[in-house]
Copies of this chain bind each other. A is one copy, B any other.
Amino acid sequence: MILTVTLNAALDITYRVPRLQPHSTNRVTEVAERPGGKGLNVARVLTALGHRAVATGFAGGGTGDALRSLLAQETSVTDALVPVGGATRRTVAVVDESTGDTTQLNEPGPVVTPAEWDAFMSTYRELLPDARAVALCGSLPPGVPVDVYARLTRAARTAGVPVLLDTSGEPLRRGLAARPDLAKPNADELAALTGSTEPLRAARDARRRGAHTVAASLGADGMLVVTADGAWQAAPPRRIAGNPTGAGDSAVAGLLSGLVEDLPWPARLARAVALSAATVRAPAAGEFDRGTYEELLGRVTVTEHPVAA
């Protein structure tokens, strides 16, 4: 199985309003709820690709119950979330139907106590021996140590399990120092980390900070990977219009599945880019349009960067 970690899982709520009127009262015409958080999205896409995925992290309160119940009903992801006393955060996406724009409101998440953190570490260590890879995804809830991804990376490496790290800011910076096998920042996260807005230069810098390999998602431009053996860039055959939410999580699922299937880098990149574009065509994060995926997969252009990494 592939293990995904979502320390700040969320109950994702989507509201549709005819036209959002700030500083006024808005009647919501449609409400949808789904299990949210980057690692849960990754796990969901992995199961759709035929892999067994186990999701851990924290869940608590009525919102945590709702999340777990939706996860069981709607996905074949194995739930290994650890209970906490605080309530799982909500995220509220308000879609303005007159413009298609979304206003996002993200709760901070429950404070995790030291005892809950210990319980999580035990669960994580118990799951590792069965994992063929682990993905560490997303932001941290209050109360979790900022070097958490470094700790989780070291534990996985000790167990001989490859680690993919997908986070930002200080948790990314600290996590890189523990030498994860693969880091997947987007262009903005990479620029914030390295100070460089030139992706190839920034990805090389991120490798020097500790990641064995850096895969940078470049939005509609595809993905760039810098490894010890070379650098490749993959781009979709055309620009895909739609909702980019979750595209990065699908790219992570593509990279992880390619890793455990031992695909060569160009094939992993092609899968990540095709999945990412197919997610833009799906209504929600954690889903992808299979027709688009299959159509694009053979048509992603992968080019090797001539300069040695």
Interfacial residues, chain A to chain B (CB-CB below 8 A): 15, 17, 20-29, 31, 62-63, 65-66, 92, 94, 96, 99, 101-108
Known contacts A96-B23, A102-B23; A107 and B62 CB within 8 A of each other: no
Tell me whether A24 and B104 are in contact in the complex, defined as CB-CB below 8 angstroms, given that A62-B63, A65-B62, A92-B92 are known contacts.
yes
Q: How far is the CB of A171 from chain B (nearest CB, A)?
A: 15
Cα A24 to Cα B103 with chains together (Å): 5
Pairs A-B, 6 closest by C-beta atoms: A23-B101, A25-B104, A62-B62, A62-B66, A28-B107, A22-B103
Q: Which residues on B sit within 8 Å (CB–CB) of A22?
A: 20, 22, 101, 103
Q: How far is the CA of A28 from the CA of B103 in the complex (A)?
A: 12
Taking a contact as CB atoms closer than 8 A, the residue among B28, B99, B101 that contacts A105 in the complex is: B28
Indicate if the CB atoms of B26 and A103 lie closer than 8 Å: yes
Report chain B residues within 8 Å CB of A20.
Answer: 22
Q: How far is the CA of A94 from the CA of B24 in the complex (A)?
A: 10
Chain B residue nearest to A93 in the complex (CB)? B25
Residues in B neighbouring A65, C-beta threshold 8 A? 62
The 19 sampled A-B contact pairs (Cβ below 8 Å) are A15-B105, A17-B105, A21-B103, A22-B103, A23-B96, A23-B99, A23-B102, A23-B103, A26-B104, A26-B105, A26-B106, A27-B106, A28-B106, A28-B107, A29-B108, A62-B62, A62-B63, A62-B66, A92-B92
Q: How far is the CB of A54 from chain B (nearest CB, A)?
A: 24
Please indicate the chain B residues that have their CB under 8 angstroms from the CB of A101 in the complex: 22-23
Contact of A107 among B24, B31, B66, B106 (CB under 8 A): B31
Sample of 11 more A-B contacts, CB < 8 Å, known A22-B103, A24-B104, A27-B106 = A15-B105, A20-B22, A21-B103, A22-B101, A23-B96, A23-B101, A23-B103, A24-B103, A26-B104, A28-B107, A62-B63
* Closest B residue to A67 using CB positions: B62
Q: How far is the CA of A115 from the CA of B308 in the complex (A)?
A: 72
* Assembly CA distance A27 to B103 (angstroms): 11
Residue from the list B17, B99, B108 in contact with A27, Cβ < 8 A: B108
In the complex, the answer to whether A92 meets B105 with C-beta atoms within 8 Å is yes
User: Shortest beta-carbon distance, A25 to chain B, in Å?
Assistant: 4
With the chains together, A17 CA to B103 CA distance in Å? Answer: 13
Q: For the complex, what is the distance from the CA of A92 to the CA of B24, rounded to whole Å?
A: 12
When distances are taken between beta carbons in the complex, the residues of chain B under 8 Å from A25 are 104, 106
Q: How far is the CA of A103 from the CA of B15 in the complex (A)?
A: 14
User: Distance in Å from the Cβ of A17 to the closest Cβ of chain B?
Assistant: 7
With both beta carbons as reference points, the residue of chain B lying nearest to A28 in the complex is identified as B107
**Complex Cα–Cα for A94 and B105 (A):** 9
What's the least CB distance linking A145 to chain B, in Å? 20
Q: A62 — which chain B residues lie within 8 A by C-beta?
A: 62-63, 65-66
Q: Which residues of the partner chain B approach A31 to less than 8 Å between Cβ atoms?
A: 107-108
Kindly state the separation between the CA atoms of A26 and B103 in the bound complex, as whole angstroms: 8
A86 to chain B, nearest CB (A): 11
Whole-angstrom CA separation of A17 from B94 in the bound complex:
15
